[in-house]
Structure 1
């Protein structure tokens, strides 16, 4: 009969294989949590990213993104259910919000200030945003990366079979932004007043 330790080792191997497939999927939102002491890697994805209030001003972008937490997946349904019901409490807090404010848009990486609302708590977070050009002349691709500390959002640290998930969770968000047409002909020119771009998820 398989003991608890052997079962958990098998579960870890299966998790790793499944998560490799999940991470390769075309998902705009991804997260990575590490376990301790075994350093298990738990990767998750969400395939829907909603947005609102996009705006440009002086070459900087602002906007808000919403992630439906009930869509988060890690590749194991039982773990997903525990994550959503016990820790994230998605019935009470169905979504997470990321707000970007005055993030410089340029080829390469920008240091930006963000604000995350999760589990009913709002915290400021520093972000690294890597900007690149999309398939059309007016499209910018944004790859945002930041770290969330679960305790700062009132989320209990998940524990299973003597494995505790590390408090810091790395989150990555991919989106594309349509540059206002007035700026496409000269993207280096900074607008004198805010204009509204279209944000494509």
Structure 2
């Protein structure tokens, strides 16, 4: 999900499919998952910015999606989840290799920006890269009301996963 601090890598572009997913748990084995294929990658030479439009997240149940967007995420006020990671923290592998690392970043969600740790893996083949990253979040840290429906409450700890392909411009 992230990338290496050199001026030669200052301009990246998404080059293939992308996805962002989240999963949460509740009582008695309840599991909630959501996904979108709308992921934006931006790079200003100093910071890599990954943005996910929250209105595009889908859980497979329309009513639950509407509640998630309107009541919990409030996407009208807070339309995106945004992760920023400094290039100086990122390492890209050599051709044919894979790198896994945990780096600091800043996550903005629901109008709050928090320091986070992101674990990413990048595989390089020629000038093509496949990246994925995991980021655990606690909804309480972002002042998001904990989802509760018909007596089932989702735990506040959410696991997120983002993956995409990119190349140098």
The two structures have a TM-score, normalised by structure 2, of 0.81
Q: Classify 1:151/1:160 alpha carbon distance in 2 versus 1 (closer, same or farther; 3 Å).
A: same
Aligned pairs (5 A) from 1:73-84:
73-84=58-69
* More RCO (CA 8 Å, sep 6+): 2
Listed one character per residue, the Cα deviations across residues 48-104 of structure 1 (whole Å, up to 9, x for unaligned) are 111212537xxxxx4101111110000000000000000000001111101122222
Question: 1:31 is matched with which residue?
Answer: 22
Q: Do the aligned residues in 1 keep the contact of 2:122 with 2:131 (CA within 8 Å)?
A: yes
Residues 1:144 and 2:133 aligned together: yes
Higher helix share: 1
Aligned pairs (5 A) from 1:172-183:
172-178=161-167
Residues 1:124 and 2:115 aligned together: yes
Cα distance in 1, alignment partners of residues 35 and 29 from structure 2: 19
5+ residue gaps, structure 1, are 1-25, 57-61, 179-196
Shift of 1:176: 2.2
Shift of 1:170: 0.3
**Moved segments of 4+, more than 6 Å:** none
Question: 1:40 is matched with which residue?
Answer: 30
5+ residue gaps, structure 2, are 1-16
SS in 2 for 1:84: helix
Cα distance in 1, alignment partners of residues 142 and 90 from structure 2: 24
Larger Rg computed on CA atoms: 1
Higher strand share: 2
User: How many pairs were matched up?
Assistant: 147
Question: 2:83 is matched with which residue?
Answer: 98
Shift of 1:27: 5.2
Cα distance in 1, alignment partners of residues 40 and 161 from structure 2: 15
Q: Classify 1:82/1:132 alpha carbon distance in 2 versus 1 (closer, same or farther; 3 Å).
A: same
Cα distance in 2, alignment partners of residues 168 and 49 from structure 1: 22
Cα distance in 2, alignment partners of residues 45 and 54 from structure 1: 27
Q: Classify 1:27/1:75 alpha carbon distance in 2 versus 1 (closer, same or farther; 3 Å).
A: farther
Please give the root-mean-square deviation of Cα atoms over the aligned residues, in Å. Answer: 1.6
